[in-house]
Structure 1
Amino acid sequence: MSTRFRITIEDWDGDGAIRIPDQALQELGVDVGDSLYLIEEFVGTSRCLVLSKTPKIPDRVDELFGV
């Protein structure tokens, strides 16, 4: 399942910051204080940032071979 949210980069004391909507946190099953990973992935030829509870998104080939 894939859910998309539009996130705006805001200024936070001179640094870029994002606010993660409550709905996104609920869908991930996380709360304030939990750790998340921001992973760079390619979808087709587009570079995307993915928010994940694991440090690496498994390769779909791994799923086919049970790795």
Structure 2
Amino acid sequence: MRILIEEWDGDGAIRIPDEALQELELDVGDSLYLIEEFVGNTRCLVLSKKPQIADRIGELTEAWNSEQRGSLEDK
């Protein structure tokens, strides 16, 4: 979802659309973190309910290993 940076009293502000709040299951007064992450080679800002995004290298390694086992069994 694309969100536009607006001006608010001379500062940059981000208005989060209602549909984004509903998708994240957030309500007024909830805490939200803005985290800098890379998606592929692109630097992005990610909204999160947690202060840190979990490292998923274990999941990626497990998926790669299962693919490798599958191709060895096919031979």
Q: Give the TM-score range, shorter chain.
A: 0.7 to 0.9
- Corresponding residue for residue 56 of structure 1: 52
TM-score by length of 2: 0.74
What is the CA–CA distance in structure 1 between the aligned matches of 2:29 and 2:55, rounded to whole Å? 28
Structure 2 unpaired stretches of 5+: 62-75
Total equivalences in the alignment: 61
Structure 1 unpaired stretches of 5+: none
Deviation at 1:61, TM superposition (A): 1.9
TM-score by length of 1: 0.83
Q: Which has the higher relative contact order, 1 or 2, with Cα contacts under 8 A spaced 6 or more apart?
A: 1
Q: Greater share of helix residues, 1 or 2? A: 2
Identical pairs, percent: 77
- Corresponding residue for residue 25 of structure 1: 21
From 42, 46, 54, the equivalent of 2:42 is 46
What is the CA–CA distance in structure 2 between the aligned matches of 1:48 and 1:56, rounded to whole Å? 14
CA RMSD of aligned residues (A): 1.5
